[in-house]
């Protein structure tokens, strides 16, 4: 039994099951991220929906950096994120009014519909519309799952439990890479299998959403005190939960005085967690991670691998992504959030600059890198992914889910989700065109952002390790040299 802040808890089988089932929301998100890059690299898919792009691919020798620059092709990848952006606000309302559990159920239903329809697509709109359904699923899932995990976790393990979401994201990406590797050999309908298999994690999430508990915070906030207390006892595995119950009740009393969470969020005292949440997500995307997650196969083809080898290389980055996320599950509640973010900036900066320099010196519009150079690029990409995976990846979701007070938590977190989606959309939509124009300098561009985010983490980001979620205002924001000026 662990004791912290007078909050007692044991880790029970039921609570672990709840964590894992909810984390399937992350798997869905990851699968969607990982699948589209490989699918858009498949000839059968291109011939059916994007014949012009396919034509250009055949003459790719003309220009390495520009072979896939096609706004419509990018719309296939990025439409999902636009839908998720909009739907995360609706998800925040559902989350507050009905709870985290029903929000997860809605997410899984959209995922199931999206997966089924995209596998059956006959024309371009029939692949874009299911992407929108999947996007709505992502909006609902990404809103509810990280909040669910942070609220249900005992304080001393909150970081690790929340990072299960990101761990499942990385497993989803990896699983998608593997699937693409297999289905790229299935002609002419391999891409249908890739898109349709999203139904598997969606099914798990659907069943999971029926089994998991509601969080005590959400029950108590909605006036269900006795059920909230019962649930708290059940998930903590002990009878003596009075102190924690009182703290949640206090937070919920304050929350009840707030009728319009979105208005409340615009007050100066809400700015610190809001600014931090949004910036974390913006910076997360400006690491350039999704240039790699979406387009790794394209990128690896660009540096000279054949189709197969480039898909295989993205499987390698997928493994690195999963394994390195485990590091943060272990470290986040021990070394804290800031150290991870700062260390990763250094590692990501070095790898981006090195990739940029190698490409600048060795890859022009028409040649190929030597085998050795291409392997060094893959190695550097792995170093970059590794650093992201134990820092900005998981913490971009964890920190915004744990720093808002109850009254603005779902609304504030919706801003985090939508910022993530907006910048994911932007990168998905713009990356291939940016690569066409900036060429190898694109990596230097991302490296520049990494410098900015280092400064941000150093000066503006408070440490939230081991602080109970419902006392963040007192313990974190009111104590921080910069942010305390905003607090009443
Ligand atoms: C990000 C995604 C990214 C993934 C990579 C997530 O935290 O939000 O945009 O693709 O990490 O593992």
SS (H, E, C) 56-120: HHHCHHHCHHHCCCCHHHHHHHHHHHHHHHHHHHHHHHHHHHHCHHHHHHHHHHHHHHHHHHHHC
Q: Which pLDDT score is estimated for 427?
A: 86
Is the per-residue pLDDT at 424 higher than 50?
yes
- Among 49-58, 112-121, 160-169, which is the least confidently predicted range? 49-58
Is the per-residue pLDDT at 6 higher than 70?
no
Q: Is residue 210 part of a domain?
A: yes
d(CA 182, CA 176): 10
Gyration radius of the chain's alpha carbons:
22
Supply angle C-alpha 364, 370, 182, rounded to 5: 100
Average pLDDT over residues 118-144: 95
> Which atom of ligand 1 lies closest to the CA of 33?
10
d(CA 293, CA 301): 14
Closest to 402 measured CA to CA, from 103, 106, 157 = 157
Q: Which pLDDT score is estimated for 133?
A: 97
Q: Which pLDDT score is estimated for 68?
A: 62
Mutate to test the pocket of ligand 1, among 165, 287, 393, 429 (most ligand atoms within 8 A of CB): 393
Q: Is residue 1 part of a domain?
A: no
**425 alpha carbon – ligand 1 mean position (Å):** 12
Give the domain range for residue 438: 13-486
Q: Which pLDDT score is estimated for 314?
A: 77
d(CA 48, CA 44): 6
Q: How confident is the model at residue 188 (pLDDT cuts 50, 70, 90)?
A: very high
Closest to 425 measured CA to CA, from 61, 88, 103, 8 = 88
Q: 169 CB under 6 A from ligand 1?
A: yes
> Which atom of ligand 1 lies closest to the CA of 396?
7
Q: Are 126 and 173 in contact (CB under 8 A)?
A: no
Q: Are 101 and 208 in contact (CB under 8 A)?
A: no
d(CA 166, CA 302): 29
Q: Which pLDDT score is estimated for 61?
A: 56
d(CA 348, CA 57): 31
Q: 33 CB under 6 A from ligand 1?
A: yes
**108 alpha carbon – ligand 1 mean position (Å):** 19
Q: Are 64 and 365 in contact (CB under 8 A)?
A: yes
Closest to 40 measured CA to CA, from 149, 169, 184 = 184
Q: Is residue 2 part of a domain?
A: no
Is the per-residue pLDDT at 239 higher than 90?
yes
Q: Which pLDDT score is estimated for 258?
A: 92
Enter the tokens of residue 465: 């390790």
Higher pLDDT, 383 or 57: 383
Is the per-residue pLDDT at 62 higher than 70?
no
d(CA 118, CA 127): 5
Average pLDDT over residues 428-447: 88
Q: Is residue 6 part of a domain?
A: no
Structure confidence by residue, pLDDT tens digits, 252-268: 999 999 999 999 999 99
Q: For the domain that residue 358 is a member of, what is the CATH number?
A: 1.20.1250.20
Residue nearest atom 12 of ligand 1, based on CA coordinates:
170
Mutate to test the pocket of ligand 1, among 166, 289, 328, 382 (most ligand atoms within 8 A of CB): 289
Q: Which pLDDT score is estimated for 95?
A: 97
Structure confidence by residue, pLDDT tens digits, 292-315: 887 776 677 777 777 677 777 778
Mutate to test the pocket of ligand 1, among 31, 33, 141, 278 (most ligand atoms within 8 A of CB): 33
Average pLDDT over residues 27-48: 91
Q: How far is CA 416 from CA 50, 278, 289, in A?
A: 33, 5, 17
Enter the tokens of residue 325: 């996320």
Q: Is residue 5 part of a domain?
A: no
Q: How confident is the model at residue 212 (pLDDT cuts 50, 70, 90)?
A: very high
Q: Number of folded domains in the chain?
A: 1
Q: Are 206 and 105 in contact (CB under 8 A)?
A: yes
Higher pLDDT, 4 or 214: 214
Q: What are phi and psi of 9, to 5 degrees?
A: -160, 150
Run of H or E residues at 340: helix 337-362
Is the per-residue pLDDT at 481 higher than 50?
yes
Q: Is residue 3 part of a domain?
A: no
Average pLDDT over residues 328-335: 97
Q: Which pLDDT score is estimated for 196?
A: 97
Q: How far is CA 152 from CA 107, 219, 463, in A?
A: 19, 12, 20
Is the per-residue pLDDT at 411 higher than 50?
yes
Q: 247 CB under 6 A from ligand 1?
A: no
Q: Which pLDDT score is estimated for 1?
A: 39
Per-residue buried b or exposed e for 109-137, using 16+ beta carbons within 10 Å of the residue's own CB: bbbbbbbbbbbebeeeeebbbbbbbbbbb
Q: How confident is the model at residue 2 (pLDDT cuts 50, 70, 90)?
A: very low
Average pLDDT over residues 154-164: 96
Structure confidence by residue, pLDDT tens digits, 216-227: 999 999 999 999
Q: How confident is the model at residue 67 (pLDDT cuts 50, 70, 90)?
A: low
Q: How confident is the model at residue 3 (pLDDT cuts 50, 70, 90)?
A: very low
Q: Which pLDDT score is estimated for 161?
A: 97
Average pLDDT over residues 18-22: 97
Average pLDDT over residues 399-405: 96
Is the per-residue pLDDT at 441 higher than 50?
yes
Q: Is residue 7 part of a domain?
A: no
Which residues, including other chains, have CB under 8 Å from residue 226's CB and lie 6 or more apart? none
Q: Which pLDDT score is estimated for 311?
A: 72
Closest to 406 measured CA to CA, from 255, 264, 244 = 255
The pTM of this model reads: 0.94
d(CA 214, CA 398): 19
Q: Report the chain's mean pLDDT, rounded to a whole number.
A: 92
Q: Which pLDDT score is estimated for 118?
A: 95
Enter the tokens of residue 476: 């974190």
Structure confidence by residue, pLDDT tens digits, 278-288: 999 999 999 99
Q: Is residue 21 part of a domain?
A: yes
> Which atom of ligand 1 lies closest to the CA of 293?
10
Q: Which pLDDT score is estimated for 436?
A: 85
């Amino acid at each position: 039994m662990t004791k912290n802040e007078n909050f007692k808890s044991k880790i029970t089988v039921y609570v672990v099951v709840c964590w894992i089932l909810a984390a399937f929301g992350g798997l869905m998100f990851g699968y969607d991220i990982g699948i589209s890059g490989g699918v858009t690299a498949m000839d059968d898919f291109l011939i059916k929906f994007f014949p012009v792009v396919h034509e250009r691919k055949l003459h790719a020798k003309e220009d390495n950096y520009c072979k896939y620059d096609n706004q419509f092709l990018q719309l296939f990848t990025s439409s999902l994120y636009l839908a998720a952006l909009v739907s995360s606000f609706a998800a925040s309302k559902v989350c507050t009014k009905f709870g985290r559990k029903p929000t997860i159920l809605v997410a899984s239903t959209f995922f199931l519909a999206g997966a089924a329809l995209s596998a059956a697509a006959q024309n371009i709109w029939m692949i874009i519309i299911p992407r929108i359904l999947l996007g709505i699923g992502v909006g609902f899932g990404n809103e509810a799952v990280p909040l669910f995990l942070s609220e249900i976790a005992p304080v001393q393990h909150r970081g690790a439990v929340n990072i299960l979401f990101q761990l499942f994201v990385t497993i989803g990406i990896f699983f998608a890479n593997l699937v693409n590797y297999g289905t790229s050999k299935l002609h002419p309908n391999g891409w249908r299998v890739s898109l349709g298999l999203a139904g598997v994690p969606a099914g798990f999430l659907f069943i999971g959403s029926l089994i998991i508990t509601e969080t005590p915070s959400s029950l108590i906030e909605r006036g269900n005190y006795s059920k909230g207390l019962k649930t708290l006892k059940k998930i903590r595995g002990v009878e003596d939960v009075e102190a924690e119950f009182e703290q949640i009740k206090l937070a919920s009393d304050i929350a009840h005085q707030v009728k319009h969470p979105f208005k409340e969020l615009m007050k100066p005292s809400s700015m610190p967690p809001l600014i931090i949440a949004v910036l974390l997500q913006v910076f997360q995307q400006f690491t350039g991670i999704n240039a790699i997650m979406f387009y790794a196969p394209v990128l690896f083809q660009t540096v000279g691998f054949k189709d197969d080898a480039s898909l295989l290389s993205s499987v390698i980055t997928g493994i690195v992504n999963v394994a390195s996320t485990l590091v943060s599950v272990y470290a986040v509640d021990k070394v804290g959030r800031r150290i991870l973010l700062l260390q990763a900036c250094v590692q990501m900066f070095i790898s981006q600059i090195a990739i940029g320099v190698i490409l600048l010196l060795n890859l022009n519009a028409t040649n190929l890198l030597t085998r050795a150079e291409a392997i060094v690029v893959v190695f550097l990409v792995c170093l970059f992914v590794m650093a992201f995976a134990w820092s900005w990846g998981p913490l971009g979701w964890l920190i915004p889910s744990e720093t808002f007070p109850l009254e603005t938590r779902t609304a504030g977190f919706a801003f985090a989700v939508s910022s993530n989606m907006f910048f994911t959309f932007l990168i998905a939509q713009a990356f291939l065109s940016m690569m066409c124009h900036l060429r190898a300098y694109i990596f230097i561009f991302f490296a520049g952002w990494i410098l900015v985010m280092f400064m941000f983490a150093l000066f503006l980001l408070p440490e939230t390790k081991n602080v109970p979620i419902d006392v963040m205002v007192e313990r974190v924001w009111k104590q921080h040299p910069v942010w305390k000026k905003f607090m009443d």
